[in-house]
Every structure is written in structure tokens, then in C-alpha cells.
Amino acid sequence: MRNANRTARSSRAVALACALTVAALALSGCQRPGARADSPAAPAAPAPTVSAPTPVTYPYEQIAGVDPNLLSLDVYTPAGPAPTGGRAALVWVHGGAWQTGDKANDTMTTKAAWAAQHDRVLVSVNYRLATDAPTWPEPAQDVAAALDWVLARTDQLGIDPAHIALLGHSAGAHLAAEVLADPVYLAAHSRQRTDLACLVTLDAASYDLTAPDPGISGMVRTAFGDDPATLAQASPTLRLQAVGGPVPATLVVTRGMPARVADATSYAHAVTAAGPHQATLVDAPDASHQDLNALLGAPGDQVVTPAVDTFLAGCLG
């Protein structure tokens, strides 16, 4: 019965995604409808053979009256010399309903070891939080400033500037999607969206803040207020539909109720329409919201890591 339910939910995702590239995360090895029997399976998460590197903290910006920790990032660099041209890098944006969370949360050791296993640098970013009142667009501006800081220091950090991926979970996934949907944030630093090789969003809190899940409407109001123009401006789907591309290759991982999957699917459609890449949409029907964060990079994980590994191998090598 569980396999039947899983197949049914994956089928709904395929129907919604239409022209998108859609992958189903099937823990029992079931295939999505239409998949070739000889299609290669996503690789399992590699067994850890390296420890998580010790992070080095850097300020990426200084703003009077702002806690310096909120404008800082941690860089986890694998041991040993970087290859000629530098290592690929993953820039991570944490979640927390736009109001809480930190770059050094308790999942980062797992993620840092996973990145090091692939000989990639991991950068974990903090940003201003809406603790008392709406702060928009400051969090997106901060993520863009952090990306500019990394891009300006690729030689110092041993990073290949052509192979940088932006990843985020929950509110962090929304911010990552927004920064790569609306060119204004990176343009403020004379950068463009295609300076990033690819984007991974893990169960974003919302891609359309004008019609959020009722369960997060209070969080949205706290972080963004209730002005319709502001909500539209902060919605990755609506911004992509308004401004178009080009945008980097994108993996959208979703889960949950049909409305949540439909929201992610609409965003993936907008990415594909903006071009030049088709978005890859993955429905992980048996995962919880926190699973998609906590399990990423965990040894032996078959819920989210294989799909992310396969996607990153395609865009980062």
C-alpha cells in the first residue's frame, strides 16, 4: 500500500510538471511512470572517509547597528591543496522562517563532511533576521552581498569561480530562489545571476508569497508585512515571470500536501520558461520538512542526497 501511495503521489508530480524534467525519490527503488528500465540510478551518498573541516568565519559586509554575526559566513575548506583552477563550492543559506537560525546550526558538520568528501568548499551564510519587524529586502540583499564576497575572493579561497552552486532549505531556499530570480540583488554588486552555476532549493517556505500556505501566513506577515506589492516583489515565481532569464540550472525538491507541491511546480515551470535550462523537480513524498535539511549529506541517506548528488555532478562535475 505504501508503494502504491508513493507511486500515485509521484504520478501527480509528473502530471503537474508537464515539460519539466521530473525525478521521483522512491525509497523502495520504484520508478516514476515513463522512466526507462535501464535508466541509471542516482548514486548513494558516499561513505564518509574525511572529517568535516574546521570552519573559518569571515565578515562579508559591515553595516552600522547590525550584529556582525548576521553579516558573516563560515568557510569549510577540504584538507590538501586545491586542484588547478580551484575547487567547486556550495554556498548554503539556512532556514528558520526568516526569523531564526544560524550558519553554524547542528546540521553543518554533516554537510561540511559531505562537501569535503566530494572535494568541494562549503560556505554557510548568515543574514539579517525579521525578529521584531519586517526587514525585507535586507535578507536577500545580504545573500547577494555574501555571494559577491565569495566571487571576489575565489583565488584566496581556492574556489573555481565557474563552479559555484547556491543551496538553501525552507526560508533559505526562498531567499536563494529570490536572489537568482530577480537580477536586482546581484546587479547591486555588478554581478549577474549566471555567475552561479546552479541552484538547489529544498522545500522552500514559499515561492509565491501572495498566496502562501495558510500554515505559514503568520510567518510571512512577520517577515514581509502585508503590502501586496512587497509580497509580489519577494516572490521568486512572480519575479521570474516578470523579468525572465537567463537563470542557472535549478533543482527543486518538494514534499507535503498537494498545494505545496503545486507551488514548487509553478516555480519550476517559471525557471524552465525563463531558460536556458529545464528545471529538475523532485517530489520526496515520504520526507518531512526537516528531513530535507537534516538528511542532506548524511552517510547512506536515500531520501534527498542521491538526487542532489546527481544534479550537482551534472552542473559542477
Q: Cis check for the bond before 137: say yes or no (omega within 30 of 0).
A: yes
DSSP 80: S
Q: Residue 313 — pLDDT band, cuts 50, 70, 90?
A: very high
Q: What is the pLDDT of residue 49?
A: 63
Architecture per CATH, 2-26+72-316:
3-Layer(aba) Sandwich (3.40)
Q: What is the pLDDT of residue 4?
A: 40
Quick check: 12 pLDDT over 80?
Answer: no
Residues 292, 94: contact at Cβ < 8 Å? no
Q: What is the pLDDT of residue 270?
A: 98
Nearest by Cα to 147 from 96, 188, 208: 188
Q: What is the pLDDT of residue 193?
A: 98
Quick check: 20 pLDDT over 50?
Answer: no
pTM of whole model > 0.75?
yes
Q: In what order do the strands lie in the sheet containing 159-169?
A: 21-24, 280-283, 249-254, 198-202, 159-169, 87-93, 121-125, 72-76, 56-59
Quick check: 34 pLDDT over 50?
Answer: no
Mean pLDDT within 86-111: 97
Q: How many residues does the chain have?
A: 317
- Cα 108 from chain centroid? 14
Quick check: 14 pLDDT over 90?
Answer: no
- CA 25, CA 303: separation in Å to the nearest integer? 6
Encode pLDDT of 266-286 as tens digits: 999 999 999 999 999 999 999
Q: Residue 114 — pLDDT band, cuts 50, 70, 90?
A: very high
DSSP 183: T
Quick check: 35 pLDDT over 50?
Answer: no
Return all residues near 191 (Cβ < 8 A) that are at least 6 apart: 144, 147, 148, 151
Encode pLDDT of 208-220 as tens digits: 999 988 889 999 9
- CA 45, CA 303: separation in Å to the nearest integer? 10
- Cα 33 from chain centroid? 26
Quick check: 23 pLDDT over 70?
Answer: no
Quick check: 26 pLDDT over 70?
Answer: no
- Residue reference for cell 539556512: 94
Residues 90, 120: contact at Cβ < 8 Å? yes
Encode pLDDT of 188-241 as tens digits: 999 999 999 999 999 999 999 999 888 899 999 999 999 999 999 999 999 999
Q: Please report, rounded to a whole number, the percentage of residues in the chain having pLDDT higher than 90.
A: 81
- CA 285, CA 14: separation in Å to the nearest integer? 13
Nearest by Cα to 239 from 263, 212, 208: 208
Q: Tell me what the pLDDT averaged over the chain comes to.
A: 87
- CA 127, CA 101: separation in Å to the nearest integer? 9
Encode pLDDT of 56-68 as tens digits: 999 999 999 999 9
Quick check: 86 pLDDT over 80?
Answer: yes
Mean pLDDT within 86-93: 98
Q: What is the pLDDT of residue 54?
A: 97
